[in-house]
């Protein structure tokens, strides 16, 4: 049994699908179901006893302690977070609450549980328990065009409220290992894309806006660079780190796939031109619109993934070409999911722009 948090969201739900596709070890999924949490992402597991869903907050220490006592997980994996940079700029409070205070409370509940585990003589002991914290490359700040990609040794220089809150949580996790001996692992991954991605983020937003005949908003000059990784490759990397990562270490995860935003958007447009041509015969790229830039927008992220490749033998299975093809096709094949996710609250968010 493992306990995962935030797994009704994009990466977490993909993680549960990837995990249960290769084994039967059950998962308890603790998720608050914020605007980003969506049980539709897990509907194919309905009735499957290997997935136990609990609605709740990682910051609720009593709830977490109760779940730990009841299910006795061998590991806890923390995916739960407020994850969108634009929202963190417009309202940073929730980011501090969940990503910093929530992670602190979760660590404290886990530390109390771990303290009571036997040192030896049982299948679950103090030394084979793991707390794996899922984090981001944004903690390292931004790169100039000729800088080498982020290695695990880069200093933390977070620039957005989101990045600063994630950096804080990484530091708490590190300190709980160094001070209390909690066996932790931290992963810092680059930009993910794939199925179940909430359409406030660039790639799903562009796919759905294109199909709706809406503008495709590009912040600033569109030359900002991100390092894209197909979400299932990220999930496989997390599984590998959980299995074989060295306690107390951090692992950067990325697919050596830097692309400027404008090229990502043009690639999506050209895929859609083939898979679902516009009825007026024109090209989707005509919908591209340059808009006011995100404040403090980081110019470039890139991951040096040599540590996880060499130590743990992980490599991505998808290229950007194969991954984006699958992603665009997935959105075309799942109109009911799209309808659900784009109704209600989401509509309010879509209207906003920096100005």
Site residues (CB under 6 A) for ligand DAU?
A: 83-85, 136-138, 190-191, 201-202, 205, 217-219, 224, 226, 261, 294, 301
59 versus 204: smaller Cβ distance to ligand DAU:
204
Task: Specify whether 311 is catalytic.
Answer: no
Q: Which of 57, 82, 86, 138 is catalytic?
A: 138
352: left (phi over 0), alpha (psi -120 to 50) or beta: beta
51 versus 300: smaller Cβ distance to ligand DAU:
300
> What is the number of the residue whose Cβ is closest to ligand DAU?
136
Q: Which of 113, 162, 193, 251 is catalytic?
A: 162
Which residues would be at the binding site for ligand NAD (CB under 6 A)? 5-6, 8-12, 30-34, 36-37, 57-59, 79-83, 98, 102, 134-136, 166, 189, 191-192, 198
Measured from the CB of residue 111, what is the shortest distance to ligand NAD in angstroms? Answer: 18
Task: Specify whether 138 is catalytic.
Answer: yes
180-184 own/partner pairs: CB under 8 Å, 24+ apart = 180/111, 182/107, 182/110, 182/111, 182/114, 182/131, 183/114, 183/126, 183/127, 183/128, 183/129, 183/130, 183/131, 183/247, 183/248, 184/130, 184/131, 184/132, 184/133, 184/247, 184/248
Contact residues for 44 (Cβ-Cβ < 8 A; gap 6+): 17
3-state secondary structure 289-314: EEECCCCCCCCECCECCHHHHHHHCC
Measured from the CB of residue 191, what is the shortest distance to ligand NAD in angstroms? Answer: 5
Q: Which of 57, 82, 86, 137 is catalytic?
A: 137
Structure tokens at 310: 């060499």
8 binds, among ligand DAU, ligand NAD, none (CB under 5 to 8 A by kind): ligand NAD
Task: Specify whether 152 is catalytic.
Answer: no
DSSP 150: B
205 binds, among ligand NAD, ligand DAU, none (CB under 5 to 8 A by kind): ligand DAU
Residues forming the active site: 137-138, 162
């Amino acid at each position: 049994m493992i306990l995962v948090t935030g797994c009704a969201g994009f990466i977490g739900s993909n993680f549960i699908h990837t995990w249960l596709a290769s084994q039967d070890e059950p998962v308890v999924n603790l998720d608050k179901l914020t605007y980003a949490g969506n049980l539709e992402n897990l509907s194919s597991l309905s009735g499957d006893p290997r997935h136990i869903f609990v609605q709740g907050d990682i910051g609720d220490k009593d709830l977490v302690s109760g779940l730990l006592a009841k299910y006795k997980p061998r590991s806890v994996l923390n995916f739960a977070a407020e994850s969108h940079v634009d929202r963190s700029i417009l309202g940073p409070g929730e980011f501090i609450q969940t990503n910093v205070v929530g992670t602190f409370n979760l660590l404290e509940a886990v530390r109390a549980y771990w303290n009571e585990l036997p040192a030896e003589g049982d299948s679950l002991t103090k030394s084979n328990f793991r707390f794996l914290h899922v984090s981001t490359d944004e903690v390292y700040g931004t790169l100039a065009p000729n800088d080498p990609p982020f290695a695990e040794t880069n200093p933390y220089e977070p620039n957005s409220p989101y990045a600063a809150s994630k950096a804080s949580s990484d530091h708490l996790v590190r300190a709980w290992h160094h001070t209390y001996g909690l066996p932790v692992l931290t992963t810092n991954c680059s930009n993910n894309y794939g199925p179940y991605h909430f359409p406030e983020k660039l790639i799903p937003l562009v796919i759905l806006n294109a199909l709706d005949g809406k503008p495709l908003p590009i912040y600033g000059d569109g030359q900002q660079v991100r390092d894209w990784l197909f979400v299932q490759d990220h999930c496989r990397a997390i599984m590998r780190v959980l299995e074989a990562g060295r306690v107390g270490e951090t692992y950067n995860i990325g697919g050596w796939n830097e692309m400027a935003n404008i090229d990502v958007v043009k690639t999506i447009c050209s895929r859609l031109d083939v898979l679902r041509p516009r009825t007026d015969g024109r090209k989707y790229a005509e919908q591209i619109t340059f808009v006011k830039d995100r404040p403090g927008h980081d110019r470039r992220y890139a991951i040096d993934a040599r540590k996880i490749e060499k130590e743990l033998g992980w490599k991505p299975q998808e290229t950007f070409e194969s991954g984006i093809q699958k992603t665009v096709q997935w959105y075309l094949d799942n109109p009911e999911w799209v309808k659900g996710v784009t109704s209600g609250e989401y509509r309010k968010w879509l209207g906003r722009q920096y100005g």
